[in-house]
Chains A and B, each alone.
Chain A
Amino acid sequence: MTEFLDLEFQDSVRMPWNVLPGTKSDAANCVIPISAIYTPLKSLPSTTPLLPYSPLRCRNCRSVINPFAIVDFSSVNKIWICSFCLQRNFFPPHYQSISDQNLPAELFPQYTTIEYETTATNEKAQVGSSNIFLFVVDTCVIEEELGFMKSALLQVLGMVPENCLIGLITFGTYIQVHELGFAQIPKVHVFKGSKEVTKDQVLEQMGFFAKRPRPTTGVIAGVRDGLSQESIARFLLPASDCEFVLNSILEELQKDPWPVPSDQRAARCTGTALSVAAHLLGVCVPGSGARILAFLGGPSTEGPGAIASKNLSEPMRSHKDLDKDSAPHYHKAVKFYEELSKQLVHQGHVLDVFACALDQVGVAELKVAVEKTGGLVVLAESFGHSVFKESLRRVFQSGDHDLGLSSNGIFEISCSKDIKIQGIIGPCASLEKKGPLCSETVIGQGNTTAWKLCGLDQTTSLCLIFDIVKKDSSDAIAQSANNQFYFQFLTYYQHGSGHMRLRATTLSRRWIAGPGSKEDLISGFDQEAAAAVMARQVSFKMENEAEFDPIRWLDKSLIHICSRFGEYQKDTPSSFTLSPRFSIFPQFMFNLRRSQFVQVFNNSPDETAHFRMILNRENVANSVVMIQPSMISYSFHSGPEPALLDVSSIAADRILLLDSYFTVVIFHGSTIAQWRKAGYHEQPEHQAFTQLLQAPRDDADAIIRERFPVPRLVICDQHGSQARFLLAKLNPSATYNSDIPAVPGGDILFTDDVSFEVFLDHLQRLAVQ
């Protein structure tokens, strides 16, 4: 395992197969696709320099020079050979001094991932140098929620860097675009929520041409194309200039005044509001890094993008409705948000959603727009909940746990010619740059070698899925001569500082083909990465393939992989063994089958969408936690130690800390709970107990501090109602109808789910057939 982590440390990449099957058929047999989970902006080792110049590029394939390039120092002109297309390139004059002993950093072998910052790219610094935040605030909420939201926003406004531009849109039944730059009185432009607003209307109607005539031709976009800085500055102002105005507007912010009949939902025009926000940014600051922060307190019911009818008697769509295709608003809404996402991607802007409501707000429909623009999503029950408040703060917080928000990324892939790209599952949008590297089979954002990442941060992780196209492996000679596949990932983005940077990661992986390749493949198998890839794949397929049966697909895949890589005698289940490289993979699959990604019926479509969006942007380690929560037990008998994710881990005198990524549960065994209730921890003589109680709290805090979105913390006692957050995740080795009586102080689960043991039995049986 550690070698994979080392690789990840250097290159921010994890691949299920670190030794690649060399042919198409081999690859097909591997079940898990050739893929990589890449975190473009993962912070680099501190020793890696930032290169203050532009990279050299291959004049043929445009890939960037890298340590794998062959450099010919001998020739007069100094030549390097591109590792992807084998093109010979001359070094430019200023590289003439290089030699074996004097290499530029990008050719150091340890700098396979390196970053360039080019000063020349800063021409846009004036306008978009810093981030632009457009707040889109739902006012169709009860007073209490509005109060929470206001205080959260007010708090955050103080944290926005002074040079960031800020805009504000509030909406309910109507949309109110606040003109922050009008000094005399507060001024808002009001749009009707029930009607789609076009970009042209925004241009025409918001007075962008009041002072100077509209150019007769051409596209109007920002200062460089037809708008005056002055007219833009009415809506988007540096935080330092509008803080007062904004504060007063927020303080006066009122609940949407339109009456809501008691049998109806509030008329909320989320779709139109977001669309107006997108238009406004598109008109004013296209191409600059800008984020729309949407604060939603309920479902959209008005105008395009409505996800529910106003009538309360018609319930919100459930997974069942979606399955049966009986959610009347769903497809229309999704289509609307798809269009919105295209616009945002085109403009390079990000949509972040903060959805805080007991009911669903339409994250499922919004998912496409958030995901394609690389936005953040936070789902909480209330604007007063710490999940929301803390998460929001994290967005603006600088320092240790800075999210490292960056924007306007373009991600490109180069790779050896025998590999093609199927697509990316993750927060990005295809730029539709087709090329010879595109595979015919497409998954996720495919059919391209370049993607747009409007918003990305340090943890944004893309799952790249490849295809091996080499037909046969008969050519053993070639294999030995050139058994490396090369990948290069280029990420061009606007750093939080406003500068444009390019990060280049170049990978080399050995490939192998032919009958003897199994051992090599096993040695390069990263089961965590494999689980993460499987999770993204199964989620993607569930959403995009009709009639897809995820359990069946996962089981088949697992069986297939086990029979391919396991050691056994045919038809003898008991003989079945797996290499350590594969040993916990079945367990991952078992838990994946039971996870929120697959067992969606316990959750609302919004929650599922939320889970999947986060899965799709997280790295392998975090994905694994989502799939298979980690559990630590604390007791007087021993120090904190990992515990089995099993009901048998429950004991009366233990505290369990479960991290299922979205939720962190501290579970007090019944004895511990009694002690706590008796107040022992407040007595000086029981300091040990105090510490025992505190230990999991500290650990939980540490988790929470690092994670975005902030997980929900549940503290519960054995037999308490909240304990379900823990119980649901445990392996049901002891259930109400199992033969073995519960251990005293332990617990049993009321479920008919199969336990891992049963699952494994079946697997072995089927794998050996």
Chain B
Amino acid sequence: MASPGGPRPGNLPPSFIPNSLANNMQNLQINQPNQPQSNNPTGGVSRPPNTTPFGQQPPPFAGSRPGPPPHSAFARGPVPPSPSGPPQTTLSPNVAPVRPAGPPPGSQPPTPFVSRPLPPGSLPSSMGGATVSLASGSSPQLGPGPHHGPFVSSPPMSGPAAPPPVRTSGPLSNGPPGITPAQFQAGPRFPPVMGSTPRPPPIAAPQPATMLSSGSSSQRPQLRPNFGGPPASASLATTHPGPSSAPPQNMLPPPAPSPFSAPIQSVPRPSGSPYGMQTWMSQQQQVAPPPPVSGLQPPRMFGMPRTLPNQSLAPTSPALFHTGAAGTAQSKVDPSHIPRPIPSSVVILHETRQGNQANPPPPATSDYIVKDTGNCSPRFMRCTINQIPCTVDLLSTSAMQLALLVQPLALPHPSEEPIQVVDFGESGPVRCSRCKGYINPFMKFIDQGRSFICNLCGFTDETPRDYHCNLGPDGRRRDADERPELCRGTVEFVASKEYMVRDPMPAVYFFLIDVSTNAIQTGATAAACSAINQVIADLPEGPRTAVGIATFDSNIHFYNLKRALQQPLMLIVPDIQDVYTPLESDVIVQLSECRQHLELLLESIPTMFQNNRIGDSAFGAAIKAAYLAMKSTGGKLLVFQSVLPSIGIGSLSAREAEGRSNISAGEKEANKLLQPADKTLKTMAIEFAEYQVCVDLFITTQTYVDIASISVIPRTTGGRVYYYYPFTALSDPAKLYNDLRWNVTRPQGFEAVMRVRCSQGIQVQDYSGNFCKRIPTDVDLPAIDCDKTIMVTLKHDDKLQDGSECAFQCALLYTTVYGQRRIRVSTLSLPCTTMLSNLFRSADLDTQFACILKQVTGEVPSTPLPQVAEQAKNLCINILHSYRKFCATATASGQLILPEALKLLPLYTLALLKSCGLRGDGRIDDRSSWINYVSHLSTPLAIPLVYPRMIAIHNLDEKELDSSLIPETVPLSSEHITDEGIYLLENGEDCLICVGNSVNPDILHQLFGISSVEEISSQFVLQQYDNPLSKKLNGIINEIRRQRCSYLRLKLCRKGDPSGTTFLSYMVEDKTPSGLSYVEFLIHIHQHIQRKMP
């Protein structure tokens, strides 16, 4: 597609572009009605260009979506011009082919956004708080305008500003939903989309925020959060007092609004500016550059509108409640007023820097479009605090963590400009000769450009002769704006010879399938073969793609796929103590040479082994053998495993059962079961990593498989565990296929090495995530993909200069699936501060919580559970205490005051304590799997994991006109669940649909094709029936899939069943035998804080 707008930067194609992915997708997808791409280009008018690419929305999906027409109308307008254009056009070679989630075919703008009707609301939102009224900007999103109205009202204020523009962004963001042709039924398109998720991130703002008036009665609130408005407001008011004089510093505040916003479109802003107080949150304003549009959604932090304009000060909106008598405290809290996340679906335009200042990023969970103006996109790297404390004391006083969450290949929003590729030729990229930092926009050129000062180590380097350029009057190089590496936070350098120890490796995919009795009989083998068979078509094209396949039970069976005349040859490796690969070559063959053999083989494997009576599984030996086969190149090893590895190298015992039979030992050492049984697999994994073999495990089981032990392999090699428990041949194959497809088609790289460098004064303390670390400074990633996140904890080793900036640079050297060696360099430069209040104001809740989640989870296997819980709680308490003590001194001691930015921390902490991993009562494998999932989890997915999104789906009809595809969320409290309702709850992996016992049979029939609750079976396959309700449900689920880049395991739950219990266990706000209710928890925390206060 032609790129309309695209000023294509370098000659080089950008490293990968979402849109192009989408394009590819179109070709691949079968079912999808192909929308003519032609539309897109023209796009200007009718359809936002970006959407087109993804065009492939699954039909069902499309159909259901009512909204599009209207919205699009206005939405589009702005869009076209928007930067989005360029991205699509470029087809960079290395683009990851398919973005799984293909949103709807071009015609419809991605549902979510578009659908939103709210015209007016949208813009205003940006101002968020503006209106005195409580409503924060969030409102716009929800379709059902009326109800929300109350607090939603906010829209008005903004109203004037830019009406439609906001929307526009919306459409862009969506990723294309539908992933591939759904295999079985239309329904399931897998929407993994790019990161932008409109959803959950709570938008704090709306609510009067967090305060709880103590006085209120104890009644359990219904969920009317929305309405909450009124009361809330009252309370809120108090909060502001914002003792925190701390007012944000300088930069932003006063001028704040204007400066930033100014750059581009003033349009929306006008009114807003006054309020600008939130300046620090500059994000809101971002403007989409080209188009005037700016979707500003106030992220939750903004919430505190009330202070209005001026306030730069009130960065935080504390919520407080008075504790009366300690004992009675809870009764005074009005549950409906306590802070809860309010998702916003409005797309935010975010410029990473404005006015030479770092712009705090929008919430990770919101939907935003980034314009890289010097700092890297927050998708790639975000810091727990958006201002860096100058001293270690300041940091420790705040009790917050200083860490980066790095997701180097994160999926961009389709409307974002592609990352530019810079080729320095033979000499390679310009680097600091001392610290080896890469050239970036913050390197300061001096002496007529003859030398430059490294922003990381401070060393003055000579400019290479052929890189020399004179400086302009502003002190910048004259060519700064033409050179991406001097004006963009993220660029990709073409790696020169010195970055290669060998030729870039080919894309090698090796599939290893369990064919032991159990796997065959449960249908796992057939599911795996079928999934692989379908995925073959999605593997990168070209001569550099090679595949191999092996099956195993108590032996390992390789297949020689390179045979001129005949069928593949099965090669059995019988020695599972000392394994080897049976052939030097021909076990892994170029895809183009063996496609037919491979398909034939995959079709015949299930029948070939159908009478297999071997129950043993030589998992360890099999992966070792496969590794040996791949050793010369490295590559991805995708393992489908169904039972506990029982023989051969690395065999395991059913220690869970042993633990159960021996209660006392089990109790004492409960967490032992979460640790690997021995070191064998770890040793193997390190060896794999050394040879660039990445292992992904697809565990399709109905029994204990000791994930704690076997997960060591994927964790060390940059892979992950996919867990299907209990596996059912009815519903899981679709997910298996979609997971596999996303796994191979998402943007990814091989044989990667990553290092984060920091400015002097800060250094990296540790990395955590799925990788192998051989030397302290680098992490080795046999494979890295867009979903993998690495947490980098930081520490001070010196003081920073107040007023200076501190830079972080993440360099990822990797090989694309097409065999180019690249260095992706993301640089983030943040201001330093000496003010504690600034720290609280610039705290990034999502990132902080993701860090806490990862850290706490990391402790679970090695520390007794109560201690872990205590630690998690303390992390929260200490932060709040610090804030209470130093930044909210003026408030009455009886009030619980929460920093606005972190007001949801208690809720999330509570949710964390009740999460699967921290509950002692779950299955060991479930917990291990959860722990593993967390280890590589990205920031946007961290919160839904513990605080899932719940929506009501029995009344979808009533919201016909709503613009948002996804209905408003329901707080996770059983009080909000009625017996007449059907609720859908999803956390990014699982999706539970709970059916009340008194649901209208008609609705049941429409949605599930059943006539009574009794017919519900836990094996659920989503089907689309010919009625609006069902179509809507499918639409919603597809949208969620798209947002989460995950197909979701759907389960039907019914109250009274075990499945219903599972569902209830997600109601984190409820009081449970082992846990406090949300209100109680707040009181609990409040008490702790008070106790700590002098």
Contact = CB atoms under 8 A, between A and B. Distances in A.
B22 interface: no
Given A211-B613, A257-B584, A259-B584, A188 B571 contact: yes
Nearest to A190: B582
Interface string A424-458: 00000000000000000000000000000000000
A195 B555 CA distance: 18
Contact of B578 (A186, A192, A259): A192
Interface in A246-268: 248, 251-252, 257-259
A457 B656 CA distance: 64
Nearest to A259: B584
Contact of B614 (A176, A179, A188, A210): A210
Interface string A163-176: 00000000001101
A185 B584 contact: no
A186 B583 contact: no
A190 B584 contact: no
Given A191-B574, A201-B575, A185 B582 contact: no
A206 interface: yes
A181 B914 CA distance: 57
Contacts of B564: 252
A187 B569 contact: yes
A480 interface: no
Nearest to B573: A190
A184 interface: yes
Interface in A534-550: none
Interface in B563-585: 563-576, 578, 580, 582-585
B566 A252 contact: yes
A195 B578 contact: yes
Contacts of B555: 189, 205, 207
B604 interface: yes
Residue from B557, B568, B569 whose CB has the most chain A CB atoms within 10 Å: B569
A191 B568 contact: no
Contacts of A210: 612-614
Contact of A185 (B568, B583, B586): B568
A749 to B, nearest CB: 52
A205 B573 CA distance: 9
A251 B566 CA distance: 10
Given A210-B613, A211-B613, A205 B574 contact: yes
Q: Is the interface of B mostly helix, strand, loop or mixed?
A: loop
Contacts of A204: 574
B582 A186 contact: no
B576 to A, nearest CB: 8
Nearest to A248: B566
B578 A190 contact: no
Nearest to B574: A205
Contacts of A191: 574-575
Contacts of B608: 184-185
A184 B564 CA distance: 17
Interface string B679-702: 000000000000000000000000
A201 B565 CA distance: 33
A256 to B, nearest CB: 9
Interface in B582-617: 582-586, 601, 604, 607-608, 612-614
Contacts of B569: 185-188, 252
Given A191-B574, A205-B575, A186 B567 contact: yes
A385 B607 CA distance: 45
Interface string A132-174: 0000000000000000000000000000000000000000011
Interface residues of A, number: 29
A248 B569 CA distance: 11
Contacts of B586: 257
Nearest to A183: B608
A184 B609 CA distance: 10
Contacts of A251: 565
B93 to A, nearest CB: 31
Contacts of A186: 566-570
Interface string A622-662: 00000000000000000000000000000000000000000
B1061 to A, nearest CB: 42
A187 B570 contact: yes
A259 B607 CA distance: 35
A258 B584 contact: yes
Interface in A190-208: 190-192, 195, 197, 201, 204-207
B580 A192 contact: yes
B570 A206 contact: no
Q: Among B576, B580, B601, find the residue whose CB has the most chain A CB atoms closer than 10 A.
A: B580
A192 B575 contact: yes
Interface in A230-258: 248, 251-252, 257-258
Contact of B572 (A189, A252, A257): A189
A570 to B, nearest CB: 74
Contacts of A189: 555, 571-574
Q: Which of B568, B573, B574, B608 has the most CB of A within 10 A?
A: B574
B518 to A, nearest CB: 15
A186 B586 CA distance: 15
Nearest to B607: A184
A188 B571 CA distance: 5
Interface in B421-472: none
Contacts of B584: 173, 257-259
Contacts of A176: 571, 582
B604 to A, nearest CB: 6
Nearest to B579: A192
A252 B561 CA distance: 12
Nearest to A192: B580
A623 B614 CA distance: 57
Contacts of B570: 182, 185-188
Nearest to A207: B555
Contacts of B572: 179, 187-190
Interface in A660-686: none
A188 B586 CA distance: 14
A184 B567 CA distance: 9
A190 B571 CA distance: 6
Contacts of B582: 174, 176, 188, 190
Nearest to A187: B570
Contact of B604 (A185, A188, A211): A185
A201 B648 CA distance: 13
A173 B581 CA distance: 11
Nearest to B558: A190
A197 to B, nearest CB: 8
Between A204, A210, A251, A259, the greatest number of chain B beta carbons within 10 A of the residue's beta carbon is seen for: A210
Contacts of A252: 563-566, 569
A191 to B, nearest CB: 7
A252 B597 CA distance: 15
Contacts of B612: 210
A691 B423 CA distance: 83
Contacts of A248: 565-566
B452 to A, nearest CB: 48
Interface in B527-581: 555, 557-558, 563-576, 578, 580
Contacts of A190: 558, 571-574, 580, 582-583
Contacts of A211: 613
Interface of B: 555, 557-558, 563-576, 578, 580, 582-586, 601, 604, 607-608, 612-614
Given A186-B568, A210-B612, A257-B583, 20 more contacts: A174-B582, A184-B604, A184-B608, A185-B568, A185-B569, A186-B569, A186-B570, A187-B557, A187-B571, A190-B558, A190-B583, A191-B575, A192-B580, A195-B578, A197-B575, A205-B575, A210-B614, A252-B564, A252-B569, A257-B586
16 contacts: A174-B582, A182-B570, A186-B570, A187-B557, A187-B570, A187-B572, A188-B569, A188-B570, A188-B572, A190-B571, A201-B574, A201-B575, A252-B564, A252-B569, A257-B585, A259-B584
Closest 9 CB pairs of A and B: A205-B574, A190-B582, A187-B570, A189-B572, A258-B584, A186-B569, A185-B567, A257-B584, A192-B580
